[in-house]
Amino acid sequence: MRSVLSPKIPIVRLIPRFLAPPSLLLLGAVLYPVSSLPGAEVSAALPLQNAGPAAKTLFTALSPEESGIDFVNPIDTTHPLKRIYLGAFACGGIGVGDLNGDGRPDLFLTGGSPENRVYLQTEEPLRFVDATAQSGIKAAGTWSSGPTLVDIDADGDLDIHVCNYDAANHLWINDGEGKFTEKAEDYGLAISDASLMATFCDYDLDGDLDCFLLTRDFKRAGGRPKEHPVELVNNKWRIKPGFEKYYDIVTRAGGKQVYINAGRQDVLLRNEGPDARGQTRFSDVSASAGISGRDRGNSVTWWDFDNDGLPDIYVGNDFKDADRLYRNNGNGTFTDVIRQAAPHTPWFSMGADIADLDGDGRTDLLVADMAGTNHYRSKTTMGEITSIRPFLLSAVPRQYMHNVLYLNNGVGKLADGAFQAGLANSDWTWAVKLQDFDLNGHVDAYFTNGVSRSFNNSDDQRSASDHIGQTEWDYYESHPPRKEENLAFANRGNLNFENVSKSWGLDHLGMSYSAATGDLDGDGDVELIVASLDEPVRVYRNNTPASSQRASIRLEGAAGNRLGLGANVWVQSGGRLQRQVVQPATGFLSSNQPKLHFGLGDDTQIEHITVKWQRGHVQRIENLSAGQTYHIKEPSTQPPRWARPARKPTRYAPITSPSLRSIAHRETPHDDFSKQPLLPYKHSQLGPGMAWSDLDGDGDADCYLSGSAGHPGILSINDGNGLLRDTKNLEFTRHAEREDLGAIFFDANSDGTNDLYVVSGGVECPADSPHLRDRLYLNDGKGQFTHAPNALPDLRDSGSCVVGADYDRDGDIDLFIGGRVVPGAYPATPQSRLLRNDSKRRVPKFSDQTSSVHGLGQAGLVSSALWSDANGDGWVDLLVCCEWGPVKIFLNRKGKLVESTAESGLASYLGWWKGIAASDLDGDGDLDYVVSNQGTNTPYKASKEKPELLFYGDFDGSGNKRIVEAKFEGKTCYPRRGFSCSSGAMPALRNRLKTFENFARSTLGDLYGDVLSGSLRLEANTLESCILLNNGNARFNVTKLPRAAQFSPSQGVLLSDLDGDGLTDCVLAQNFFGAQPEIGLLDSGLSVFLHGRGSGKFLAAGPDKSGIRVAGAATALTTADLNLDGRPELAFAVNDSPVMFFSELPVSNQSHKLFEVRLRGKPGNLVSVGARITLSSLTTSQSQTSEITAGSGYLGQSEAARWFGLGPAAPETPISVTVRWPDGSSTTTRTVAGDGKVLIPQP
């Protein structure tokens, strides 16, 4: 083995276990290469030999006779504490580790009614014997929950901390040979509470282990008292004495005070080290450290979510108790940042685990909930929406009933990728275990499921008053148990998980709670140990074949942290980097073997192992063999002092100028669902739009931000150097009651100034209301605008976008206005419009020419559109993005538009298309397109085989048309919405079906029968944002953008070479907050930067590299050079929020140059909208082509300049700019890179 010495990174020498006595497993880290150590005693590892026989499934469940484990947690209906079977205390937990020092992992099992057990592993692998009596461990009369195996006294063996319900917790100190003595009182850990689980970590970096104690709640014997347990004292409500442990008083919205079933206070215990007698003591520092609140916890996880080297704490809480994310401040205190860091949380947070699931080198967190995996389970547990909707709409952060996969993006702002990964639904889950079970180098997921009784059956819900005089268990005891299959998901890479429960032999049907992992037989793969109610604890042998390469790592930490808890370990093999953290107490009531196991797939060599210890030491060893167990010891030298990591430079940074932050959209709340209760989403939150142009003739860009109903649009004039000033235009104020959407600037009346067209849309007013009339405002040349009411026909459509181009080549700009919705009648097709510019003698006049284009007026539910020369014939064509339809294309046949969608190859791609932008993405000289879409990280899943469906008709014979969404499960079509929502809109359903059970068992045909065939039917089979690669003749090859682009619904889309390398980049504006309450905020995106790689391919840059972080519901995405520095700023319009501006940092643009091209057109088309620009340079690999547009992306219009990358061009580098003008003529201009920009006038 060759070791390479890196500066300040010690090299580790290792002694094989079979050569060294237990106390000398490993000699300390040294500062010279391993190869220089003397003698044959030096060896890298203990070889791993596969112990599992060939098997049909990855795991084999061992019978009690095979394993020797007969421990059962029964449902004991005679036990005085049986009332706590309904929650997290029901089934006890599992600890895995070497308890007697023989090198073999043993098991410690806790129980409720049965006493805790110690099982020691014999010399026969996976064979255990009950050694409880010999161990000295006794717990008669206590109801135990979570066990934690930890070396609390730092003597090199595993001690056991046990949480108990309403009794003092236990701490069993190990003598090294498996004999234990209870010492909790001596250590200050004999806390008596509703203790669920303890987890240890050195949070203050002082070298010893501290403790976080998770608590749950107390269940009162006899249920609720007949009299309310509150009293009024000094005009204030308080809980009566004797009831404080069960109830608490909270203040609801509006100031109303109520008493609730309350959880208990979690406890942070700091290790104070040895006292004067030499006894280690822990002290409760919860209050001073910032740990607060009474919550009903289910899991606690140490997790460095902000990547600063300090362990933070995630607490998963049940019911309406908000989860906690305690950020470690580095000074012994914590701050709960869940509201700032998490987009949302599970509603009923259960078990949790950390691992690097997406392979980016950062640890992610998966928190489970109880969401059903099939239609039946989902629809029988949804409950009455009327009772839960207020909570769904008000919780901060929002809580949703599905698993949440927090992906660590390196900026401390988390994103939920559960739906995209396929891990959002796992039934009534307790434990989550994240391990590379099949050793292919990707971390897999395992869930335990089931519960003692079906407490959330929607047909059998109990109110608080039902529990007066009896506990919940008293009522449910006679009910049958709720058994569910456990689930396993194999990670196929790229955050793609496949349900392999059956093929892996893990689909056990039962009431499974805790699960733990460990390499019980020493062959390098991990076994599973699962505790279930009413059956023996089950051991699953892992049968991964020997051909799957592997490596195991055991750390030996410094004196106070012998297990190396909190250390991060990276293993690189085959160019792939994996990361794991030493933190055994994860999942649910489990303590895993404190040893790391890495799957290497086919790689037989390890390029390096790097360890970063909790206190800051870093070690690295290189060129290692697979199939080994590596033991690494922490250096004994003084660790470096912790300092918050310096921020790495990013490409962009937000502009915090007050003048820019004051440009804000304000939404007026509107209940879209009052008229159409089954709407998939709200149409009152589709804006704002944003448009840029030089309005006052001073050479810089000014902007208009669309308003909402009740708030006028904002016109901001650029006063120089990027300072924008709100002009407070009275004309806009007069139209404040209208909902603005798209807007563009163009010279409507050919007077040489840019005027403003604003689309009226939304559903805040009835169909055909005067408030739906679009508006044209004329510019006096100084940025002052006057409404021109007679310029437009009296059209009253609820529109979306407006895009302009001279499609008839008469020298002025004509308009397409997309119809978005018919208020109160979604998804009926609205009217889209083609307005020809017939202005004469500076008198604006537009005529409706829609009827001249077959199919255009009824194009569909239009979100956006783009004028672009798709077939390269010099005439601008029209591309229209439709919801529940394709991207439609209307080719321009010398001034006559003809629909050519079928011939384009786009007709079969039915999506919820939102935005569109054009650029030459593959260097072939024609224009390609990127279209934004819903993405794949929502509950909606669509394919051509199993599309999402929407029906619109009179389904209950009431005379009112209703919406019915539908989905496929297998080959069967079911309603997407639940019984409560559906019957609320159509009461006849409730009268006919009566129960949630009957509804859940009904197919779509069972429910609505023949009415379906007579209703409007829409479908979507493509939800990914896509690239449309053009073959030059408006025939397209459709490919998907990278998975990072599918992470949240995308609206705005921008195509431009922003990094100056000569390749077009893409930016997407993401998130949408108007979905139906059951879906919730679609808020997992931060908007995304995609680097162009040529050939129509993109590579995503995370927010830690791009600097782009837009947490709100971003809509229009535009560019403008606000400070005239030759590089464009990015402007994200955000619904109900300030516009977010980003400027490129100087450090990011020193090597690659941008070249700016502007065109000067003629009156009527001042910036030559429709012109195609092609730039060629010797320093870039391909020519670059773009267009000047009036309206692009989603409800956006960027400044009429185009930027092209020159790479590292020298100033004298020749540049060639060819322009094909809107009238079809062409010119070529030659210049040099050093000029930086060029203004080209139209001949």
> Cβ-count burial of 198 within 10 angstroms (0-12 exposed, 13-18 middle, 19+ buried)?
buried
Q: Rounded distance, CA 714 to CA 710, Å?
A: 13
pLDDT at 593 over 70: yes
197, two tokens: 């689980």
For the stretch 406-446, pLDDT in tens is 999 999 999 999 999 999 999 999 999 999 999 999 999 99
Instruction: Give residue limits of the domains in the chain.
Output: 653-850+857-941+1021-1160, 948-1020, 1172-1241
Reported as type and span, the H/E element at residue 421 is helix 418-421
598, two tokens: 């890495």
- What's the alpha-carbon Rg for the chain, to the nearest Å? 33
Beta bridge pairs of residue 233:
236
Report the half-sphere exposure of 544 (CA within 13 A, side-chain side). Answer: 27
CA angle 1087, 695, 1192 (to 5 degrees): 35
- Concatenated DSSP letters for 571-598? EEETTEEEEEE-----BSSEE--S-EEE
pLDDT value of residue 333: 98
pLDDT at 19 over 50: no
> Cβ-count burial of 730 within 10 angstroms (0-12 exposed, 13-18 middle, 19+ buried)?
exposed
- Residue 1121: pLDDT band with limits 50, 70, 90: very high
State the pTM of this model: 0.94
For the stretch 515-532, pLDDT in tens is 999 999 999 999 999 999
**Average of per-residue pLDDT across 534-561:** 96
**Average of per-residue pLDDT across 962-990:** 97
Beta bridge pairs of residue 693:
702
pLDDT value of residue 525: 97
pLDDT at 14 over 70: no
- 3-class state of residue 731 by DSSP: helix
Beta bridge pairs of residue 843:
840
- Residue 1148: pLDDT band with limits 50, 70, 90: low
980, two tokens: 């409560």
Pick the CATH number of 653-850+857-941+1021-1160 from 3.40.50.360, 3.40.640.10, 2.130.10.10, 3.30.230.10: 2.130.10.10
Counting residues of the chain whose pLDDT is more than 90, the rounded percentage is 88
For the stretch 332-386, pLDDT in tens is 999 999 999 999 999 999 999 999 999 999 999 999 999 999 999 999 998 888 8
pLDDT value of residue 28: 29
Residue 832 DSSP symbol = P
Tally Cβ neighbours within 10 Å of residue 115.
16
Q: Are 47 and 28 in contact (CB under 8 A)?
A: no
For the stretch 594-635, pLDDT in tens is 999 999 999 999 999 999 999 999 999 999 999 999 999 999
Helices (H), 523-671: 658-661
**Residue closest to 218 by CA, chosen among 166, 159, 265, 266:** 166
